[in-house]
Amino acid sequence: MKTTPLLSAFILLLVTASCAVGPAYHPPDAARFTPADWHWQPAQPGDAAPKGDWWNVFHDPVLAGLESNAVAGNQNLRAAVARVDQSRAAARMTRSQFFPELSLDPSFSRERVSGNQPVPFSIPFKMKPMYINTWNVPLDLSYELDLWGRVRRSFQSAAANAQAAAADTQNILLTLTADVAVNYFLVRSLDAQIASTEAGVKSRESSVRILQTRYEAGSIPEIDPVQAKTELAEARYDLADLRRQRAETLDALALLCGQTASSFDLAPAPLPNAPPLVPAGLPSTVLQRRPDIASAERNLASKSAQIGVARAAYFPVVRLTGDGGYLSGDVGKLFRMDSLTFSFGPSASLPIFTAGRTAAQVRQAQASYQESLADYQQAALTAFKEVEDSLAQIRFWSEQAGAQADALASVRRVTELTQARYDAGVLTEFEVVAAQHDQLQQERQTAELAARRYAAAIRLIKALGGGWE
C-alpha cells in the first residue's frame, strides 16, 4: 500500500509533535545530604495522605472545638484556598492551548459612497451616491502545532504550580492548627500559674493582717508588717503580669479562630501533667507528608518544565489559521452557498536573530531551577533539624519533669513542716512565708515546664507533617 505525500507529511508531523525539548524531570534524591539511618528516598510527596484531626491525641474537647473554629474561620486559610483556585484556573488556561481556538465575529455595515469621489480619469457621466450593505458571519480558527513541547511544558509547569499552591495551603493549615494548640496549652499553663499565685496572694494578705494586728498590739516591730506588705505587693505584681499574659494569649487564639478578642474567652481549667507519648523508630516516610517539602518539590518540577519552555523558543512556531463564513450585501441571500467564503493555510515564525535573548532566557530558567533545587534541599534539611530538635526537647524536658515533680513534692513537704513548727511557736511568720514562696515558684515552674512539653509535642507533630501512624 502506497502512501500519498500528504499522508506522509501528516505522519511525519505527528512523530515530530511527540518531541518535547528541555530536560525530563526526575524527583531529587536527598539521600546524599540526609542522615543515613533515615533511609531517605527520592522525593515522593505524601502531603495529600489523610492525617485526620491530629489534635485528638490530646483528648481535649475544648481544644478540638477551637481547632474546628480555626479551620472554619481563619482568614489566612481562606486566602490560601483562594490562591489554590487561582493556580488551578491558571493551569486550565494553559491547558486550553492544546486545542484550536475558534471565534465567531458576525458584523453588519452600511456604507454610503460619494457621488463626487475623485477618479483617475474623466468619465462622460455623473456618478450618483451609492449605499452598500455588508452582512458578514465569519468563523476564525487558529491553532499552534506543539511541535517542540512548548505548550506541554507550559502545562506541566502550571500544573506543578497548582499542586505547590495546594501544598502551601496544607502548610498554612498545619501551622494554624499547631499555633492554636500551642496557645491553648499556654493558656492552661497560665491558668495553673494564676491559681497558684492567687493562693499565694491570699496567704500573704492573711500574713499582713496578722502581723499588722501584732504590731499594733506592740508585740513585734514595725519592720515585720512592712516587709510582709512588700512581699504582698510583689505577689500582686506577678499575678497582674500573669493575667496580662493570659489575656494576650486569648487574643492570639481569637485571631487564629477568626473571632474578635472581645467576644472570645475560655473558662479556667487544669493542665494535664503529660503530653502523649511519641512512638519510637519513626521512619523517614512520615517527613514526606510535610507540605512544605511537597511544595518545594512541586516548585522544582515547575522550574524544570520552564527550561523546556525557554528552549522551545529556539525553534519555529507553526500555526494553522483559517476562516470561513458567509458574506453578502443582501441579508436574504446571506446563508446561500454562493455567499460562502473561506481561506486556510499554515504559517511559521522562525527566530533568526534575537541578540542572545533566547539563550539568556534558557540560562535564567536553568538558574531558577538550581535555586529551587537548593530550596528543596534546605527544606529537607530543615525538616530533619526540626524533628531532631523536637525529639531532644521531648526527651530532656521529660527528664526535667521528673526532677521537677520531685522538687515540688519536697518543697510542699517543707512548707508543711515549716507551718507545723510555726504553729508550735518555733519559727516566725516570715519563715512560713518564705517556704510558701518557694512552693509557689516550684508550682509555677512545673506549669511552665508542662506548657513547654506540650509545645514540643505539637512541634514534633508539625515537623512530621501532621502526626504519626
**pLDDT tens sequence across 67-92:** 999 999 999 999 999 999 999 898 98
Q: Say which range, 32-46, 126-140, 369-383, has the weakest mean pLDDT.
A: 32-46
Report helix, strand or coil for 105. Answer: coil
**pLDDT tens sequence across 266-275:** 999 888 767 8
**386 domain residue, yes or no:** yes
User: If you compute the radius of gyration of the chain from its CA atoms, what whole number of angstroms results?
Assistant: 39
Same domain, 440 and 295: yes
Domain that holds residue 458: 16-123+145-316+356-463
Whether pLDDT at 244 is above 60: yes
Q: pLDDT-derived band of residue 31, with 50, 70 and 90 as boundaries?
A: low
**130 domain residue, yes or no:** no
Positions of E strands within 312-398: 317-328, 340-349
Same domain, 203 and 278: yes
Q: What is the pLDDT of residue 125?
A: 67
Q: Percentage of residues in the chain with pLDDT exceeding 90?
A: 36
Q: Say which range, 40-54, 245-259, 341-355, 376-390, has the weakest mean pLDDT.
A: 40-54
**CB 215 within 8 Å of CB 293:** no
Same domain, 181 and 48: yes
Q: What is the pLDDT of residue 287?
A: 67
Q: pLDDT-derived band of residue 43, with 50, 70 and 90 as boundaries?
A: low
**35 domain residue, yes or no:** yes
**133 domain residue, yes or no:** no
Domain finish residue from 328, 350, 372:
350
Same domain, 118 and 248: yes
What rounded mean pLDDT belongs to the chain?
Answer: 84
**pLDDT tens sequence across 300-340:** 999 999 999 999 888 888 888 888 888 888 788 788 888 88
**452 domain residue, yes or no:** yes
In this structure, what CATH number is given to the domain that contains residue 409? 1.20.1600.10
**pLDDT tens sequence across 374-400:** 999 898 888 888 888 988 898 899 899
**5 domain residue, yes or no:** no
Same domain, 336 and 223: no
Same domain, 408 and 447: yes
Q: What is the pLDDT of residue 319?
A: 86
Same domain, 71 and 153: yes
Whether pLDDT at 6 is above 50: no
Q: What is the pLDDT of residue 46?
A: 57
Whether pLDDT at 284 is above 70: no
Q: What is the pLDDT of residue 176?
A: 94
Looking at per-residue confidence, does 69 or 345 come out higher? Answer: 69
- Please enumerate in sequence order all residues whose Cβ is within 8 A of that of 404, keeping only pairs 6 or more positions apart, or say none: 442, 445, 446, 449
Same domain, 434 and 374: yes
**406 domain residue, yes or no:** yes
Question: Quick one: angle between helices 150-216 and 291-311, nearest 10?
Answer: 150
Q: Percentage of residues in the chain with pLDDT exceeding 70?
A: 86
Burial pattern 243-257, b for ≥16 Cβ within 10 A else e, equals eebbeebbebbbbbb
Give how many domains the chain has, as a whole number: 2
Say how far apart CA 83 and CA 208 lie, in whole Å.
62
Same domain, 113 and 156: yes
Report helix, strand or coil for 131. Answer: strand
Domain finish residue from 350, 373, 403:
350
Q: What is the pLDDT of residue 3?
A: 45
Same domain, 109 and 98: yes
Whether pLDDT at 170 is above 80: yes
Same domain, 227 and 292: yes
Q: DSSP string spanning 358-372?
A: HHHHHHHHHHHHHHH
Same domain, 290 and 306: yes
**215 domain residue, yes or no:** yes
Say how far apart CA 107 and CA 334 lie, in whole Å.
12
Q: What is the pLDDT of residue 326?
A: 83
Q: Which of 389, 297, 287, 292 is nearest to 38 (CA)?
A: 287
